[in-house]
A and B are shown apart, each in its own frame.
Chain A
């Protein structure tokens, strides 16, 4: 029936580029040595690993010794936050935001149960964090601030440089979950005051299950794991060699593509937003300009997001939603709730996230189908008829 697939869920994950797969393949069958081994096959893989670390560091404006490979964004966040907390001994205060990904939020909740104090900063209705509020939240026990670089649901970009500077001035560590930003927007760690940054390869056309943590030289945390001495003991265990090679290659390609990809996605994003807002009773979630190049998040009033996704899926369009019925947890998105959006409107939220491969025809196709789906569902909806 349906012939084309319009994939607009790059915020969830992305396809792996051909060049990336090609770079990984030799490390499954040819170069299978353990990089910790002294023999020639091992040494050869060690060298490839070192090169991938250098490539990764260069793409981020960091030094190779500051890059620690992990299994992804979730693990990077856990190593940084729990590792910093573990070094504290005897509690302390953490500042984060109320719109973090669960891989930060739930770690903080856990740390609260372990005796740490946590401040979850509110956001304005665009989902922005006010640096002044960070400043006010700082107290003598604050040892780390963790604020995401961009939100995964609504795409809002945060004033990371300002907040990192604040942290530095107060002698507090600063961590940012940049999983949605790396490969989409330029990152230069050495000119920043960021102490930790988490990234994940599958968000920039790399493989799944591999990521990295940047930890600034001189910063010390306690390792969560015991094992070998890989990744300077922060992440012991035999390295995911093909994954690391793929991450390096994907990041190198993504970063070199940023200048033109960013412009292209922003223009597609803005035409999709403009087109969707042409439909009656649609609101844009997030900030109109200060947002990820590929992120579109709208709420269709009077209908529920999961049903819109299903309707889109029938047409071959892949998107996502923050509605309760699509979340698995049956809670509406904590991000949309934090922006003060009414629950009934949050239920109607749909995220389209663009990436490499999306084109103007895709946007046109969505704009052709979406109004019909919305109309059909509104026709069924009692709240629409009694509005």
Chain B
């Protein structure tokens, strides 16, 4: 059902855990299936210096969170804001159609984390 890249991210998720000194935290949940994702970012000079995640959810949800953290590390905040859920699924080499909504949490969590950072740092 899942391709090798998805399985690899599921088996060896990158950047798992909580960043104790996070500058921004974003959370999203799917009301429909119950998957939830929490994303932590550390920002320096308007760039995402470090990122980590915690996810409750299926294989697709875990793999897309992990994929997203790889995609955003070192990115400028404005660039990171441009990342869409589709980009994450594409980077993973595609997901089964029924699973797309599970991966739709990742980019949303990121945008929430960036907004959280900007709110805290009066950049709104």
Summarize B's interface: helix, strand, loop or mixed.
mixed
The residues of A that contact B18 with a CB separation of less than 8 Å are: 385
**Chain B nearest CB: distance from A97 CB in Å?**
25
By beta carbon, the residue of chain A nearest B53 is A380
Which residues between 348 and 387 of chain A lie within 8 Å of chain B, taking CB atoms?
377, 379-385
Q: How far is the CA of A314 from the CA of B13 in the complex (A)?
A: 15
Stretch in A45-53, A133-141, A237-245, A300-308 with 4+ CB within 8 Å of B: A300-308
By beta carbon, the residue of chain A nearest B1 is A310
The residues of A that contact B113 with a CB separation of less than 8 Å are: none
**B99 in contact (CB, < 8 A):** yes
The residues of B that contact A328 with a CB separation of less than 8 Å are: 98
Q: How far is the CA of A343 from the CA of B59 in the complex (A)?
A: 19
> Number of contacting residues on A, CB 8 A?
25
By beta carbon, the residue of chain B nearest A325 is B58
**A72 in contact (CB, < 8 A):** no
Structural contact, A380 and B60, CB atoms closer than 8 A: no
**Chain A nearest CB: distance from B46 CB in Å?**
27
Structural contact, B62 and A307, CB atoms closer than 8 A: yes
**A127 in contact (CB, < 8 A):** no
Q: How far is the CA of A310 from the CA of B2 in the complex (A)?
A: 10
Which residue from A310, A325, A381 sits with its C-beta under 8 Å from B33? A325
Interface string of A321-350 (1 = CB under 8 A from B): 001111010101000000000011001000
Structural contact, A380 and B54, CB atoms closer than 8 A: yes
For B7, B54, B102, the residue with the greatest tally of chain A CB atoms inside 10 Å of its CB is: B54
The residues of B that contact A302 with a CB separation of less than 8 Å are: 56
Structural contact, A324 and B56, CB atoms closer than 8 A: no
**Chain B nearest CB: distance from A77 CB in Å?**
26
Structural contact, A381 and B54, CB atoms closer than 8 A: yes
By beta carbon, the residue of chain A nearest B38 is A382
The residues of B that contact A306 with a CB separation of less than 8 Å are: 58-59
Structural contact, B58 and A326, CB atoms closer than 8 A: yes
Nearest 4 interchain pairs by C-beta: A325-B58, A306-B58, A382-B54, A324-B33
For A302, A330, A347, A380, the residue with the greatest tally of chain B CB atoms inside 10 Å of its CB is: A380
The residues of A that contact B38 with a CB separation of less than 8 Å are: 382
Given known contacts A330-B32, A330-B98, A382-B36, A314 and B11 CB-to-CB distance under 8 angstroms = yes
Q: Can you identify 26 A-B contacts, CB atoms within 8 angstroms?
A: A304-B34, A304-B57, A307-B10, A310-B2, A310-B7, A314-B11, A324-B33, A324-B34, A325-B35, A325-B58, A325-B60, A325-B61, A328-B98, A330-B32, A330-B98, A330-B101, A343-B34, A347-B34, A377-B62, A380-B13, A380-B16, A380-B54, A380-B55, A381-B54, A382-B36, A382-B37
Q: How far is the CA of A43 from the CA of B58 in the complex (A)?
A: 55
Structural contact, A379 and B16, CB atoms closer than 8 A: yes
**Chain B nearest CB: distance from A334 CB in Å?**
15
> Number of contacting residues on B, CB 8 A?
28
The residues of A that contact B59 with a CB separation of less than 8 Å are: 306-307, 310
Structural contact, B102 and A325, CB atoms closer than 8 A: yes
**Chain A nearest CB: distance from B1 CB in Å?**
9
Which residues between 1 and 19 of chain B lie within 8 Å of chain A, taking CB atoms?
2, 7, 10-11, 13, 16, 18
By beta carbon, the residue of chain B nearest A384 is B56
Interface string of B10-47 (1 = CB under 8 A from A): 11010010100000000100001111111000000000
The residues of A that contact B60 with a CB separation of less than 8 Å are: 325
The residues of A that contact B32 with a CB separation of less than 8 Å are: 324, 330
Q: How far is the CA of A363 from the CA of B37 in the complex (A)?
A: 33
Q: How far is the CA of A347 from the CA of B13 in the complex (A)?
A: 21
For A310, A328, A383, the residue with the greatest tally of chain B CB atoms inside 10 Å of its CB is: A310
**Chain B nearest CB: distance from A323 CB in Å?**
7
Q: How far is the CA of A123 from the CA of B35 in the complex (A)?
A: 27
Given known contacts A325-B99, A380-B13, A330 and B33 CB-to-CB distance under 8 angstroms = yes
**Chain A nearest CB: distance from B69 CB in Å?**
12
The residues of B that contact A383 with a CB separation of less than 8 Å are: 36, 56
The residues of A that contact B34 with a CB separation of less than 8 Å are: 304, 323-325, 332, 343-344, 347
Q: How far is the CA of A218 from the CA of B27 in the complex (A)?
A: 63
Q: How far is the CA of A303 from the CA of B61 in the complex (A)?
A: 12
The residues of B that contact A310 with a CB separation of less than 8 Å are: 2, 7, 10, 58-59
